[in-house]
Structure 1
Amino acid sequence: MMKNNHSAQAGLVALYLSIVLLALNGLFAKIIPLDALNVTQTRSVVACIMLFLVLVAQKANLRLNSLKQFIGVYGLGLVLGAHWITYFHAMQVSTVAIGMLSLFSYPVITVLIEPLFKRQVPKIADLLAAFVVFSGIFIMVSPQIISGEFDGNTVQGAFWGVTSAILFAFRNTSQKYLFPHINSITLMSHQTLVVGLVLLPFIAVEQISNMEIKDWGLLILLGCLCTALAHTLLSMSLKRLPAKSVALIGCNVPVVGGLIAWLALGEIPGVMVYIGGAVILSVAAYESLNQNK
């Protein structure tokens, strides 16, 4: 019992550290002068180099033991890359608050996905929670929908945010149940490698070459802290805590991210964004309390 408590505590520490680092993504999405695809490719390269150096220093095992593991880990790496692209795009076409709040529909999506890995049927209460969360997203975009602006920034941001949420929930839950015994750093090393390689033919060489030194500094910080370290910590927490708990506690990210965007960028969300965001976060809070009981 003591060992389990210690493992859970270690998982919580890793999770809360990852929350702080992940919350900084919104700031980087706004201040790095690259589109979502180029940011994703370059951050993956930086993260991959850092993770490989850590593995070498630790003399850790980088090998995957079978073709099945190779296909699975690299396949989930591509899903992670798609999540990053859609997430950054959501924040770039709208605001940090809308992008993050839409992404954090992923805890309820996780609640719906996780029973499938356990060969169980989702509970009615979980289905109702999903309905309420997506109602919150609709509230955020309702002003533009009512006015007929279906291509408005809020609608686009919410669409890409929810798409990113689905990808993130699928990747995290799949990784937890399919590869529980693979070292977290090893997993992230392979996944950042495949993202960097697959996106390499699509990068805007001229755009990247025109970046200033400070922009490269920001990219290195994004790759090292908010990519390599944050997602490794997240993977560590998934090994010690239920995927549902990780997702629900992770709902603190948009709160921290929105605060950072307000302080650093002066982004002030509209009233409907506040209301919709409150609905999303209240469901997550309810689920967290229910999980604790």
Structure 2
Amino acid sequence: MRPQQSALLSLHSAVLLFGGTALFSKLISLSALDITVYRTAVAFVVLLLLLKIQRQPIKLIHKKDYLTALVLGVIVGLHWVTYFASMQMAGIAVGIIAFFTYPVITVFLEPLFTRSRVQLKDFISASAVLFGIYLLVPEANLGNQVTLGIITGVFSGALFALRNLLQKRFFSHYSGPHTMLYQTLVACLMLLAFVEVSIQQVSTENLWLILLAGAIFTAIPHALFASSLRYLSATTAGLISCLQPLYGTLLAYILLHETLTLTTLLGGLLVVSAACFETWSITRKKA
């Protein structure tokens, strides 16, 4: 198999696993915060072993990078808690769609970090996203779990967009697994004091699911994604990443029998189409 084909397979595998992460919000019978703490603990151990096996350095180059890692870890921790909480409240399909507003949010946050300007096409994309979210919202009432879940999902997307921009600006000189090692550690330690169910009280079934979520669905896809970028363009990687909502929704339908309404499909199509367009537009501009 040629390097490009192997990289493409790695990328699709990574995106499929990223999409599958959403399933654990329903499969693991713990709160979103508890899932995040235990998942990040497992991911940290696996990433540490991976870096040791590859004989990559563990320490950061500059002292100031530890402060950057701390900030990124806090943001990632909050992102993952809200990510899982969104799906527990609104369902996996709706939660993923709400989260996938992040490419459009990124476009509006990026001028704060670069000299780029928001263009007319970006406002059109944002309008499509807003209408897509409007179709998803059952009622304008925070007492409605689905509505609250959608808002939480969009907030999670905003945190993810902020993390990506900060990482690109201040932490891009490290590999994907290296950056995630510190972010998972900080996220775990930050949230550990708020755990509701101690590790001794977690059922055997949930423990196995946590191990699966942390190792197979967190550490491995980040490593696969990082390795695929050696042979694929940023445009290819960005557009294939837009398949994450599709993969997640299909897995939820097949494994959890989660059904979709026509309105949800239309709203999701608008949001994901806008996300794909912005991803393509950004990566084309950088090429």
Q: Same fold (TM over 0.5)?
A: yes
Alpha-carbon RMSD across the aligned residues, in angstroms, is 2.5
- In structure 2, give the amino acid aligned to 1:169: A
- In structure 2, give the amino acid aligned to 1:192: T
TM-score, L = length of structure 2: 0.88
How far residue 135 of structure 1 moved from its aligned partner, in angstroms, is: 1.6
8 A contact 1:45–1:193 mirrored in 2:
yes
- In structure 1, give the amino acid aligned to 2:219: A
Q: 1:41-90: CA deviations, max 9, x gaps?
A: 00010011111111222221111122221111221111111110000000
- Give me the whole-angstrom Cα distance separating, in 2, the residues matched to 1:202 and 1:69: 27
Does 1:193 find its partner at 2:185?
yes
8 A contact 2:34–2:197 mirrored in 1:
no
Does 1:277 find its partner at 2:273?
no
Secondary structure of the equivalent of 1:24?
A: helix
- Give me the whole-angstrom Cα distance separating, in 1, the residues matched to 2:162 and 2:6: 24
Q: Percent identity?
A: 36
How far residue 38 of structure 1 moved from its aligned partner, in angstroms, is: 0.3
Aligned equivalent of 1:3: none
Count the aligned residue pairs.
Answer: 281
Inter-CA distance 12–122: structure 2 relative to 1 (3 Å threshold): farther
- Give me the whole-angstrom Cα distance separating, in 2, the residues matched to 1:175 and 1:230: 18
Aligned with residue 86 of structure 2, among 87, 90, 95: 90
Q: 1:88-110: CA deviations, max 9, x gaps?
A: 00000120011000001111112
Superposition pairs of residues 34-183 of structure 1, within 5 angstroms = 34-141=30-137, 143-145=138-140, 149-183=141-175
- Give me the whole-angstrom Cα distance separating, in 1, the residues matched to 2:275 and 2:160: 16
- Give me the whole-angstrom Cα distance separating, in 1, the residues matched to 2:228 and 2:147: 32
How far residue 124 of structure 1 moved from its aligned partner, in angstroms, is: 1.6
How far residue 13 of structure 1 moved from its aligned partner, in angstroms, is: 5.2
8 A contact 2:100–2:275 mirrored in 1:
no
How far residue 236 of structure 1 moved from its aligned partner, in angstroms, is: 5.5
TM-score, L = length of structure 1: 0.86
Inter-CA distance 249–108: structure 2 relative to 1 (3 Å threshold): farther
Inter-CA distance 288–60: structure 2 relative to 1 (3 Å threshold): closer
Q: 1:15-64: CA deviations, max 9, x gaps?
A: 43321011111211101011000000000100111111112222211111
More helix by share: 1
- Give me the whole-angstrom Cα distance separating, in 2, the residues matched to 1:66 and 1:127: 39
- Give me the whole-angstrom Cα distance separating, in 1, the residues matched to 2:76 and 2:158: 11
- In structure 1, give the amino acid aligned to 2:193: P
Secondary structure of the equivalent of 2:139?
A: helix
